[in-house]
Amino acid sequence: MSGLLPQGFWTRNETLVAVVIILFCIVATLSDPLFFSATTLTDLLRASIVLGILAVAAMLVLISGGIDVSFTAIAVFAMYTTTVFTLAVAPELPWFVIFALSIGIGACLGAINGIFIAGFGLPTLIVTLGTLSVFRGFLLTFVGSQRISALPPEMRDFSRMMITRGTTEAGNFYALPWAFAALVFVVVLTWFILHKTMLGRSIFAIGGSVESARRIGINVRATQFFVYVYVGALAGLAGIIHGAMGRMADPFSLVGLELSVIAAVVLGGARLIGGYGTITGTLLGVALIVLVQNSLIVVGIPSTWQSVTIGLLILLGTGLPAWQAKRAAARAA
Amino acid sequence: MAAATHDALVDMKGVTKRYGGVTALDGVDFTVHAGEAVCLAGENGSGKSTLIKILSGVEQPTAGTISINGTQHTNLNPRVSAAAGVMVIFQDFSLFPNMSVAENIAFSTQLGEHRTLFDLSRARKLAQSVLERIGVDIALDARVESLPVAHKQLVAICRALASEARLIIMDEPTTALTEREVRSLLAIIRKLKEEGVAVLFVSHKLAEVLEVSEKVFVLRNGKKVAEGPAAEFDAASLTRHMTGRDVPEAPPSAVTEGSKTLLDVENLTKVGAFADVSFALKAGEVLGVSGLLGSGRTSLAKALFGLVAPDSGTIRLDGEAFALGDPIAAASAGIGYVPEDRLTEGLFLTQSIARNIAVGRLDAHERRGFLDLGALMSEATDWLTRLKVKAPDPQAPVRSLSGGNQQRVALARWLSRAPRVLVLNGPSVGVDVGSKADIHDIIRDLARSGIGVIVISDDLPELLATCHRILVMKAGRVVDEIAGNSVTEDELAHRLAS
Amino acid sequence: MKTKITLMAAALLTGSALTATAVNAQDETSIATVVKIAGIQWFNRMEEGVKQYAEDNGVNAFQVGPAQADPQQQAALIEDMIAQGVDALAVVPMSPEALEPVLGRAMEQGITVITHEAAAQQNTHYDIEAFRNEDFGANLMEQLATCMGGEGEYAVFVGSLTSQTHNQWVDGAIAHQEANYPNMTLVGDKNETFDDAQNAYQKAQEVLRAFPNVKGMQGSASTDVAGIGLAIEERGMEEATCVFGTSLPSIAGQYLETGAVDGIGFWDPSVAGYAMNKLATMVMNGEEVTDGMDLGLEGYESVALEGKVIYGQAWVNVNKDNMADYPF
């Protein structure tokens, strides 16, 4: 429409999601002027850390043409095992060592997915559905099933490290924890890998056509293996942040979140057939889901309607572009 | 440049390939010189795909030698072959639909350099220079999925050139192109030849590329059966060599005198597709509908079967009008439709041959709510024999059949419903010459048995070989009607284009 | 034919083995307490009560539980206990419906069955509940109201909107407030936390944003007050707000210490375990349980009988001062 905008701007998922976010914010501000405040912003940013890291991970898998539902189980496994291990062996470990441990455990579990998917060539959904149950069952049976609130002190201290904190003029408290920097780091790193490295472009290529990728000499197996290990590592990071910020290692948490995460990614324009997905879109999808999950009270929608609202958004967000594409195809024919 | 070197670019001697007890290639000698275009012709199963696989290093020959650029290779693998400049453009082009034109062209080059980081500006520069080299203008940042087929093919050619191709092997290059696109492809091939790049066409639809080719090789049952300058071949002689027999394309016998009108179409209109189309079809008549891409012929074909809902007009079968835009009504009235892209529209590829035929007959074999499977399957098998489908086993998946045999299965499904009128959209697209002749035989047989047949096609010899009358469409309207036995191919081509 | 003989022999052997255990068991009354899952703090605490009962009364009372929280494993374990010939079963069902058949078989064989946390169980002699859920909710509300001075806005949280227990607690609390504290107002809906501390934290933040004047919050899932406490602590509102809810010292302890959470309520599983075993003995001795009866245990001094369900008032209220007494 306008020459300044990129081609197909108005039919993109990103645009649609951004418009819905803006509309939602306007409605929320109208129904409660307090909504538009630093407090709301920091609360929402904080709520998007874990969801955001997991969504970036899920997006990477979708781009590569697979689907991973086991990352929440990896996250909780890595977080809980790290906590139990640290408490038993060296409770005074600095937080970054604890984080590295959790990331390492996550990467190892991701490698198990990678072996089945890249090594044996099994379907990704089947493998990750299986490992989801295996990781979770193993955790609850052999590692433990008790909620631990006496975390290693460094983990507790981490959750108290703030980038900024203060009180607004209206007297409302706001704070943004340093954990948010982890999301920023993950976003920058993943963007760099996806767009600036041959590995990242290979991930897109595999998602576009595995057969073509093989024919031009891309090492499909190694690339897929990397994807699942990287996703495992990100899940480990998200898990330990979840535990530290909630000040509780809860082996029952996170699992069940995977569909919300995938929903956020799909809302942001990634396609389940592979090859498509942008970080901007994914972050917008996360923003919308977090906004809906955390602001329905303000808008006056009962909690019972929360899942209905999210479901409708997904239908709208994924259905509308698909319908537009179909209509465009019909016109072209 | 082409004249500068007389040494062969590729020289294969006595190449033999056996898979178990089957000999796919039997002592074949084959040479290509720089700047030369060569046609490799052969039916499905003649060994031409095996030859490509050996040349591109995917398969190792059982016996024989291969030299590229004067270097003899004993252990050719895809990487070595590609490094020597042998590039294959597969029928599906092997592109990445989700990536940009620039990336598709330059990605394998950067991959070959074992880089860690991807350099987009260098990729764009390389892509731009290759596109300029063949003189085409495609937006570098466009996603390949948004390009028309012809442009995708050009992107694939550019990718081969970007990787410094010396020999480009093109598998079935013209199948998906319109006449005009074929002409512009040929112009590009000429340009490549001037630059010393050799091109190998592998196809069973070769007449179109003969004019730019120097040499022709014909394979049959793994053996080279003909070789010579392209000028010595024409469509008929190629067919003869490929099939090993003359395929006489006898024109159809005349429609029986006084046979009654079967289908009566009046003022059929679909805004934006076709307008005011009227014609009548007699029992036993074969009616051709032709026209360039976008002339409305495919929409008309679909409208006859209810897949496209016309805005106005009537269709009568035996004088009875039936509901428009409703495939079920059309089918129960006695109209059958075999789509052009049988692979995606018509057949269940992973299901067995017998099931694919039987699916159209489920209602006829219902016994008190249950299926009489035995009767269903024996009927299906019976059709396989009648249509001469070469299938190892009626339970094998349709996917395992050749294109020609797949088309027969699609036909069998409709014939088993005993239709009054059969609409065939591009009946022989993508099948080899021998099967094509068989399909034409079937069409003529069908007409003799009293079925009215409508053939939608832009394959002129096909129209002439099967049709009593040919309707020519242009911009959605019927602009000409030609009696099938009154014109030659050239005249027909002329009237189509005018 | 041969198989048939082998089978019969096997059956005979098993039969005699059963009789043998049964005879052994006659020497000493044996009561098996079967819990949802073995090895977690809650049921470890319950086992203390069971052992105490065994010691006090010289009976063979013991506790078992499946390794995983799985109704099928629990049913299999009960089958084992029946085969071992126990005299009474005290069961904390994972899924009451799933256990109906096996408990029915136990009763047919003359085994006394007592259940806990399963008010709807059919195949049981008595089900004993620590309290009526509405009463427990009212008890939490009473403390919340006292802390808030009987006025101001408050919000309620449930683990899931489909959890009957959580809803009964919260409904009981709201009813109690409406009847006794007209100056208090409930703001918002029931907030759902999915039994997750992080979700409870985010919901608490949202409540604090949407209702800046909110003074009190009541949680239901054991993780609710932990999440609410974290939000309160981050905002430095320990003094300005009152937070009460169902939880355990091991989960909410750190927030009780800082005052972000003011008090928690629960029932002591060791007392419940003791009560189940005591009830089992009473049934075996043919004693009747009547409305208003004193079971001689803390919180069960005057039980209410409704059909087969016995309700006590056995809740325990814990705050910063007495949390050390409940190390679980």
CATH number, domain containing residue B441: 3.40.50.300
How many angstroms away from the CA of C115 is the closest CA of chain A?
24
Q: Is residue A245 part of a domain?
A: yes
* pLDDT tens digit sequence for C14-54: 444 444 344 344 458 999 999 988 877 788 899 999 999 99
Q: Nearest chain B Cα to A328, which residue?
A: B146
Average pLDDT of every residue of chain B: 83
Single out the residue of A234, A231, A292 nearest to residue A67, CA to CA: A231
- Tens-place pLDDT, residues B432-443: 666 777 788 888
What is the nearest CA distance from A210 to chain B, expressed in angstroms?
A: 9
**Over the range B355-373, which residues count as b (16 or more CB within 10 Å of their CB) and which as e?**
bbbbebbeeebeeeeeeee
pLDDT confidence bin for C5, thresholds 50/70/90? very low
- What mean pLDDT is predicted for residues B314-342? 84
- Whether B101 is in a domain gets the answer yes
- Chain B nearest-CA residue for A198: B118
Three-state DSSP class for residue A127: helix
Specify which residues B471 forms β-bridges with.
B289, B481
The boundaries of the domain holding residue B173 are 8-243
- Let me know whether B290 and B439 are in one domain: yes
Residue linked to tokens 């990242």 = A200
Closest-CA distance of chain A to residue B473, Å = 17
Q: Rounded to whole angstroms, how far apart are CA atoms B486 and B488?
A: 7
Average pLDDT score over residue span B371-393: 76
Residue A152 lies in a domain: yes
Verify whether the Cβ–Cβ distance B111 to A218 is below 8 Å.
Answer: yes
Minimum distance, in Å, between the CA of residue B456 and any CA atom of chain A: 17
Residue A30 lies in a domain: no
| Shortest CA distance from A166: residue in chain C | C235
Extract the tokens encoding B299: 């929409």
Q: How far is C265 from chain A (nearest CA, A)?
A: 18
Q: Given an 8 Å threshold on Cβ–Cβ distance, is C234 in contact with A173?
A: yes
Contact A217 B108 (CB under 8 A): yes
How close is the nearest chain A Cα to the Cα of C316, in Å?
21
Residue A22 lies in a domain: no
Using the 3D structure, point to which of B181, B216, B243 is the last residue of a domain: B243
Domain assignment present for B248: no
Hey, which residues does B204 pair with through a beta bridge? none
Could you tell me if C256 and C323 are in contact, meaning their C-beta atoms sit under 8 angstroms apart?
Answer: yes
Is B97–A208 a contact, with Cβ atoms under 8 angstroms apart?
A: yes
Confidence bin at C214 (pLDDT 50/70/90): very high
User: Do B379 and B361 contact (CB within 8 A), yes or no?
Assistant: yes
The pLDDT confidence band at residue A329, using thresholds 50, 70 and 90, is: low
Please indicate whether, in this complex, the C-beta atoms of B110 and A198 are within 8 angstroms of each other. Answer: yes
Interface of A with B in 213-272 (CB under 8 A): 213, 215-218
Subunits in contact with chain C (3 or more CB pairs closer than 8 Å): A
The answer on B235 and B120 residing in a single domain is yes
Question: Are both B181 and B235 inside the same structural domain?
Answer: yes
Q: A43 and C206 in contact by Cβ < 8 A?
A: yes
Residue B252 lies in a domain: no
Q: Give the number of beta-carbon pairs within 8 Å between A and B.
A: 62
| Best to test chain A binding among B53, B86, B96 (most A CBs inside 10 Å) | B96
pLDDT at A300 over 80: no
B291 lies in the same domain as B395: yes
Residue A149 has its nearest CB partner, among C194, C202, C250, at: C250
Touch test B–C: 3 Cβ pairs or more under 8 Å: no
Question: Nearest-CA distance from C278 to chain A in Å?
Answer: 29
User: Does the distance separating the beta carbons of B97 and A209 come in below 8 Å?
Assistant: yes
Residues B407 and B310 in one domain: yes
Helix, strand or coil for residue A47?
A: helix
Residue A238 lies inside a defined structural domain of this protein: yes
Q: Is A43 part of a structural domain of the chain?
A: no
Give the pLDDT confidence score for residue B341 in this predicted structure: 62
Q: What's the pLDDT score for residue B249?
A: 61
Most confident of B44-58, B419-433, C126-140: C126-140
Minimum-distance CB partner of A303 among C192, C212, C237: C192
Q: Do domains C2-124+268-313 and C133-267 have the same CATH topology?
A: yes
Q: Are residues B204 and B273 in the same domain?
A: no
Greater model confidence, A39 or A169? A39
Statement to judge: residues B208 and B311 lie in one domain:
no
Average pLDDT along chain C: 88
Q: State whether residue A141 sits within 8 Å of chain C by CB.
A: yes
pLDDT over 70 percentage in chain B:
92
Measured distance CA(B282)–CA(B314) in Å, rounded: 17
Q: What is the pLDDT of residues A74-98, one digit of tens each?
A: 999 999 999 999 999 999 999 999 9
Q: What is the DSSP letter of B255?
A: P
Q: Give the mean pLDDT of B65-73.
A: 88
* Cβ-defined contact of A196 to B117 (cutoff 8 Å): yes
Q: Does A309 touch chain C (CB under 8 A)?
A: no
Domain ranges of chain C: 2-124+268-313, 133-267
Rounded average pLDDT over B307-322 = 88
CATH architecture of C133-267: 3-Layer(aba) Sandwich (3.40)
What gap in Å lies between CA A71 and CA A69, rounded to an integer? Answer: 6
Which pLDDT score is estimated for A287?
94
What does the pLDDT average to over C163-171? 90
| Residue ending a domain, choose from B243, B273, B294 | B243
Residue range A13-27: mean pLDDT, rounded: 88
Q: Tell if the CB–CB gap between B99 and A199 is shorter than 8 Å.
A: no
Q: Chain C neighbours among A 65-94 (CB < 8 Å)?
A: none
Mean pLDDT of all residues in C235-255: 91
pLDDT digits (tens, 9 = 90+) for C41-99: 788 899 999 999 999 999 999 999 987 778 888 999 999 999 999 999 999 998 888 99
Residue A257 or B247, more confident: A257
Is residue A21 in some structural domain?
no
β-sheet bridge partners, residue C310: C128, C305
B145 in the same domain as B93:
yes
B256 assigned to some structural domain: no
Contact A106, A233 (CB under 8 A): yes
Q: Report the domain count for chain B.
A: 2
Higher pLDDT, A224 or C10: A224
Indicate if the pLDDT at residue C127 is higher than 90.
yes
- Bridge partners of B444, per DSSP, are none
Are A198 and B98 a contacting pair at CB < 8 A?
no
| Range scoring the smallest mean pLDDT among B207-216, B243-252, B450-459, C72-81 | B243-252
pTM: 0.77
Q: pLDDT > 70: what percent of chain A? A: 95
Tell whether B309 is covered by a domain.
Answer: yes
Nearest CA in chain A to C236: A173
- Mean pLDDT score, B51-79: 87
Helix, strand, coil shares of chain A, percent, nearest 5, are: 75, 5, 20
Report the residue of chain B nearest A215, measured CA to CA. Answer: B94
Asked if B94 and A216 come within 8 Å (Cβ–Cβ), the reply is yes
| A304–C161 C-beta distance less than 8 A | yes
Q: Residue B98: which of A197, A208, A211 has the nearest Cβ? A: A208
Q: Which pLDDT value is given to residue B128?
A: 95
Of 3.40.50.2300, 3.90.1150.10, 1.10.443.10, 3.30.70.1050, which CATH number belongs to C2-124+268-313? 3.40.50.2300
Owner of token pair 């024989």 = B64
Q: Most B CBs within 10 Å: which of A195, A198, A204, as the mutation test of the B interface?
A: A198
- B159 and B300 in a single domain? The answer is no
Q: Report ipTM for this prediction.
A: 0.86
Q: Which residues of B touch A (CB under 8 A)?
A: 78-79, 82, 90, 92, 94-99, 103, 107-108, 110-112, 115-118
Confidence band, pLDDT 50/70/90 cuts, at residue A7: low
Lowest mean pLDDT, pick from B43-52, B98-107, C75-84, C98-107: B43-52
Can you give the pLDDT at residue A52? 96
Identity of residue A87: L
Domain region containing A92: 50-320
Among A50, A149, A304, the residue with its CB nearest the CB of C253 is A149
**CB of A200 less than 8 A from some CB of B:** yes
Under an 8 A CB cutoff, do B108 and A275 touch? no
How many domains are there within chain A? 1
Spatial CB neighbours of B436, under 8 Å, sequence gap ≥ 6 = B404, B428, B462
Q: Give CA–CA dist C183/C145, Å, rounded.
A: 10
**Biggest distance spanned by C-alpha atoms of chain A:** 67
Task: For residue B55, give how far its alpha carbon lies from the nearest alpha carbon of chain A (Å).
Answer: 14
Q: Does A163 touch chain B (CB under 8 A)?
A: no
Amino acid at C266: F
C40–A248 C-beta distance less than 8 A: no
For residues B55 and B67, is the Cβ–Cβ distance under 8 A? Answer: no
